[in-house]
Structure 1
């Protein structure tokens, strides 16, 4: 009986060894990579807080709100998707909450997709966050990379009426990050595509307006 039990023990140990080898995580390497980085090794997993700063907006007093254009425009969560109703703030504020064109903003309620601000100098209101790159990181790369990370956070957030994001959740999220020069290469590639998409979208809008104008002229506007 004693001798019969030994092979079973050895088999179990062998299985444990095989399982531990198979459980080792594979290096994080993208399936598509620029030639000059194919020998650069795997991307390093870091907490996002190591490569970026996530600043949350300030709870400005509503007694200074107005819609007549007095003061600076206030960026609320809804303003990241639409400019139908603009709110301005005429009260005191700190310079650290000023937003300029090119800043990356994130709505912290509902949809966490980042967007690039392009509507002039404004103020960062509460429940809106701003992503800034730390030294050694590309802001443009972070815009593309963080958009994927935030979408995963959004999907994993408990199903509630409105999903909420915190700066702590963003900064503690672990995410693969390549070396700086590879970040720059990826950022240039994707931003170039965005420029082409923007130009084509403008052409499409122009054609739609042309068609609309032609239809107004080619068909009678009044029925007798």
Structure 2
């Protein structure tokens, strides 16, 4: 660690803005509020629900205004989640249990600060200074006095550049995946929910974004049942089988990667097996990249699996198309079915999904020629989405392996760049 020094955090900061003490007045619409629950895994999550009225912003933000590049950190519930503000989020309001930090010029680079706070060594220091028996939190005084290992400023910027480039690529892949899924979802809705091609032909128009051969597959009228002529409502089992997870013994779980990766309900959102198991179960099923998997308790969100093949634990199911041609159709038909089931379950306060519930699932099915045409368009979109998700996982694993080594001085910048080039 040639040239590295340790200094209290406050000596390396130009600004520390702390909005703890009370919560801002909420409004139905307005300026988004950065709260502890939206800072996760190095970024600020999309879809922030809490807002404040624009006219209240100046009154609430009297303790200081954030700037682009500032680092925000959660101080409790949970402690130590970190993100960096961009041009959009720097205009948001700061909520309770959040502090905002800005490094002193030519002493502490903000990018370096973000990754330093994310490193295992500093996370351990944060936890060691935390108080609270139920929810761990850190006082401003304790945070300010926490010692930080600082590389020479030029090296800080190089380290931040290396790790930031990986994060930028991960974020690009995430946005690309979301765009591809939105495109596939829009196409599904147009064809099989709004029946746009049928309405267009009824009105004597050429269906939008469709060649004549594909348009010819659609009818130009609706039947008495309200569906396009020749279409029908059929059981989900006409196009898909459902595979259920097996009850693996928790006594065989381990974090040392002995055996095979196992996915539990809690692991679905992170798209990563949470444990490994040495057990072999007669009813086991190995989900593959691209599979549609669903948790059956609490939240019936469908996920397209974008990680290594993994075993499914109990209370997870996988919808497997009977014909690979229908892969995208099955994936895009499932959300509405699950949403209806979840709404019904919430009304009765029983948030569980069972085989009897899935047995009632039905979908609008067109002739096989239209399913084939849809698959030709939508399947490649989902395939690219899965590829982007897998690449993001690889890049995140590389970032996570480099982070502690760079932040401890164990790995030099040049060696880190070589490792990245080998993966790229």
- TM-score where L is the length of structure 2: 0.36
Matching residue within 345, 353, 366 for 1:165: 353
Work out whether 1:99 is the aligned partner of 2:287.
Answer: yes
- Judged with a 3 Å threshold, the aligned counterparts in structure 2 of structure 1 residues 83 and 182 are, in CA distance, closer, same or farther, namely closer
1:79 to 239, 257, 267: 267
Q: Which residue of 2 aligns with 1:11?
A: none
Q: Does residue 36 in structure 1 map to residue 216 in structure 2?
A: yes
Cα 1:184–1:126, aligned 2, differ >3 Å: closer, same or farther? Answer: same
Q: CA offsets, 1:24-77, max 9 Å, x none? A: xxxx98431251332272421012123211121111011100011111111111
Instruction: Tell me the CA shift for residue 161 of structure 1.
Output: 5.7
Higher relative contact order (CA 8 A, sep 6+): 1
Contact 1:54/1:171 (<8 A) preserved: no
Q: What is the deviation of 1:88?
A: 0.8
In the alignment, the residues of structure 1 paired with residue 347 and residue 245 of structure 2 have an alpha-carbon distance, to the nearest angstrom, of 24
Q: How much does 1:186 deviate?
A: 2.8
CA distance in 2, matches of 1:83, 1:138: 23
Distance 2:363 2:216 in 1: 22
Unaligned runs of 5+ in 1: 1-27, 203-224
Q: Which stretch of the first structure deviates more once superposed, 30-39 or 57-66? A: 30-39
Give the corresponding residue for 2:318.
130
- In 2, the alpha carbon distance for the partners of 1:169 and 1:50 equals 16
Deviations 1:122-175 (A, max 9, x none): 111101001112259712211101122212221222436661111221122222
**Alpha carbons of structure 1 residues 83 and 142: separation in structure 2 relative to 1, 3 Å:** closer
Cα distance, 1:30–1:167 mapped onto 2, change above 3 Å? same
Relative to the length of structure 1, the TM-score reads 0.65
CA 1:85–1:104 in structure 2 vs 1: closer, same or farther (change >3 Å)? closer
CA distance in 2, matches of 1:83, 1:29: 29
| CA distance in 2 between partners of 1:127 and 1:93 (Å) | 15
Contact kept in structure 2, 1:109 and 1:162, CA below 8 Å: no
In structure 1, what is the Cα distance between the partners aligned to 2:300 and 2:362?
A: 17
182 and 63 in structure 1: CA distance in 2 versus 1, 3 angstrom threshold: same
The reply on whether 1:90 has 2:278 as its aligned counterpart is: yes
> How big is the alpha-carbon RMSD for the aligned residues of Structure 1 and Structure 2?
3.0
1:112 has 2:276 as partner? no
Aligned residues: 173
| Bigger mean CA deviation after superposition, 56-65 or 135-144 | 135-144
The residue aligned with 2:253 is 65
